[in-house]
């Protein structure tokens, strides 16, 4: 099975392990494709290229979750400069201070154990 093709999710997670935010690009559609998939949702083509995001984006929407136990935390949608959006959170600041339009930078959060890393963001200074 060494020659078995890796799944798009497996490739994405390998990049996160290295601290990279990978996404796919469809040459036929001329658009970024995210979440990782086998075929382009715009054209149906299997021709998808892997690219590495520079990790810079803008908060599109934000909310604060107040769990019954534990501290409140931010959940947001981030528009990456490469043209795709993902759900994540902004860390290292008061969750109520996260604002729509705020510029953010990606980093990989490693929860530990067998859990795969997840993309999170921190606010850009200035």
CATH of residue 80's domain is: 2.40.50.840
Q: Is residue 81 part of a domain?
A: yes
Q: Is residue 107 part of a domain?
A: yes
Q: Is residue 1 part of a domain?
A: no
- For the chain, what is the domain count? 1
Question: Which residues are CB-contacts of 90 (< 8 A; sequence separation ≥ 6)?
Answer: 59, 62, 74, 76, 98, 102, 104, 120, 121, 122, 123
Q: Which residue has the higher pLDDT, 4 or 25?
A: 25
Q: Is residue 3 part of a domain?
A: no
Q: What is the pLDDT of residues 23-65, one digit of tens each?
A: 999 999 999 999 999 999 999 999 999 999 999 999 999 999 9
pLDDT of 126: 53
Q: What is the pLDDT of residues 110-122, one digit of tens each?
A: 888 888 899 999 9
Q: Is residue 72 part of a domain?
A: yes
Q: Is residue 21 part of a domain?
A: yes
Q: 30: domain range? A: 8-123
């Amino acid at each position: 099975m060494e020659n078995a093709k890796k799944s798009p999710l497996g490739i994405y997670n390998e990049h996160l392990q290295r601290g990279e935010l990978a996404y796919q690009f469809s040459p036929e559609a001329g658009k970024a494709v995210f979440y990782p998939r086998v075929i382009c949702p715009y054209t149906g083509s299997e021709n998808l290229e892997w690219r590495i995001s520079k990790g810079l984006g803008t908060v599109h929407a934000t909310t604060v979750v107040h769990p019954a136990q534990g501290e409140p935390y931010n959940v947001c949608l981030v528009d990456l400069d490469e043209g795709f959006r993902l759900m994540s959170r902004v860390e290292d600041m008061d969750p109520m201070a996260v604002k729509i339009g705020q510029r953010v930078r990606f980093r990989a959060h490693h929860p530990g154990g067998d859990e795969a890393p997840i993309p999170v963001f921190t606010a850009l200074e200035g």
